[in-house]
Structure 1
């Protein structure tokens, strides 16, 4: 089968958004690069109008440039494996793919085969969320992972001793991939599909994890607060350092108190507790 190949250059903060948008219109393989990402769509059924609409919408804010060509079908897994390295989050957890060998010296190990899903630990937001999780007592707790992606944060919660873990995502590909990763890590859970309003999780929870983006967080924070037990923890990431004041101000009105924050490469993560 022939494919359309697009080598897209874009600003880093729009890369995941663009991948998500393109996956909705028939693109079925993505390779992240230093400048952006390469993406592939089967030649048959390619939706030129939808593609141009996405590019036009994000061209200026994401500083998009791209080159288009035709290519034969390739071994996507082989290409992906060349570009995926394991990571270490301090001595807390070693995150690797199934084709990487285990490595000692860590309290925990997570096996993630991300395919097209988001959340491998490589991004600064996921890395910080894992770090912060390691500082919170999960033993016997009830945990909700909002916008779970690969399921990596839910898996971390399970390893840290959570009694129950619930997770969901709006992308059906992420749900399939997340459930595969749950099986790889022996997590007794099934990821749901939809927004938090669609899934309608039933609280209260001891810990809520949300690594999404600022606009979604601001829209859903009131729901998170309603689902939290007194003294529960809310861990947020997916936004920039300059967005911290907006999120903190919004949380104040919901009786949520900031107790910890971190930044890495201008990406931020916050921990709140419910008064």
Structure 2
């Protein structure tokens, strides 16, 4: 389990700069982003951080807007403290609350999800996690098999289980995410989610009615054919982790391999796409 690097960016003009820089950093392996009043913070495992590569990528934008950043190492044991001091519970459409164990909520929610962050992607603060949950709440998954691919904290698998999906499978390549998902399942008294460590290659021979994949554009493009092979006919594939500018490329791939486009949602340029297998 590695420490994480936190980059805090000050950006001007804010909206334009945030969107462009977050998009660029997501391509460099940064896993999570939190927008703040003056810019945003970004997180990446320390062993994946390459300052030379980062500065080269950022150099292309110096003529378009102003930005600066500071770097800090966050040891794994300090992440709960970092979380507690910086983040608040997330309310999604008044129906779903995502909170840490130390957060208290007076309101009754249909879905009250407890997440011990552990620096895994999927605490609910990222636009893509919220987009995925909003889409999930529109779907009928009761009694249907579901896969949360790239599960992070396991929040989508937990949400699906609470909505009646059964059985649920959660997969991630990261040791920390695997451990965190198992812990979060226990905290939410979920016992029908099966967690595996690995990538899309372990899906061979498995079938699901619904597949959720909140990862990044490059992985989605590379693995989409495997998702389709693992999807039942008339099954749902919900994708996020990319920007609106990536939609055409992803749709082109999806339509070419037997998927039918159903819907799209956008939040601060981050995008969700919903497809159904023909």
Length-normalised TM-score, structure 1: 0.80
The one of 79, 83, 91 aligned to 1:80: 83
Corresponding position of 2:198: 194
Distance in 1 between residues matched to 2:76 and 2:157, nearest whole Å = 34
SS of 2:219's partner is helix
Q: Pick from 129, 133, 136: which aligns with 2:132?
A: 129
Q: Which residue of 1 aligns with 2:228?
A: 225
List aligned pairs for 1:89-168, cutoff 5 A. 89-168=92-171
Is the CA contact 1:6–1:66 (under 8 Å) kept in the aligned structure 2?
no
**What is the alpha-carbon distance in structure 2 between the residues aligned to residue 140 and residue 76 of structure 1?**
36
Residues 15 and 37 of structure 1 are in contact (CA less than 8 Å); yes or no, is this contact kept in structure 2? Answer: no
Could you tell me how far apart the structure 2 residues matched to 1:141 and 1:4 are?
36
Structure 1's 61 and 138: CA in aligned 2 closer, same or farther, altered over 3 A?
Answer: farther
* 1:15–1:36 contact (8 Å) kept in structure 2: no
Instruction: Count residues in correspondence.
Output: 259
The match for 1:269 is 272
1:55 aligns with 2:58: no
Query: How far apart are residue 143 of structure 1 and its match?
Result: 0.5
Q: CA RMSD in A?
A: 3.4
Offset of residue 104 of structure 1: 2.6
Identify if the C-alpha distance between structure 1 residues 70 and 121 changes in structure 2 by more than 3 Å, giving closer, same or farther: closer
Mind listing any 5+ residue stretches in structure 2 that lack a counterpart? 10-17
Unaligned ranges ≥5, structure 1: 22-29
Q: Which residue of 1 aligns with 2:15?
A: none
Q: Deviations over 1:57-89 (max 9, x none)?
A: 644468785446899999543332011111111
- In the superposition, the TM-score normalised over structure 2's length comes to 0.80
Query: Is 1:37 the equivalent of 2:45?
Result: no
2:242 aligned residue (239, 242, 259): 239
Is the CA contact (8 Å cut-off) linking 2:210 and 2:235 kept in structure 1? yes
**Structure 1 position 200, deviation (Å):** 3.0
C-alpha distance in 2, partners of 1:211/1:75?
26
Distance in 2, matches of 1:73 and 1:224, equals: 32
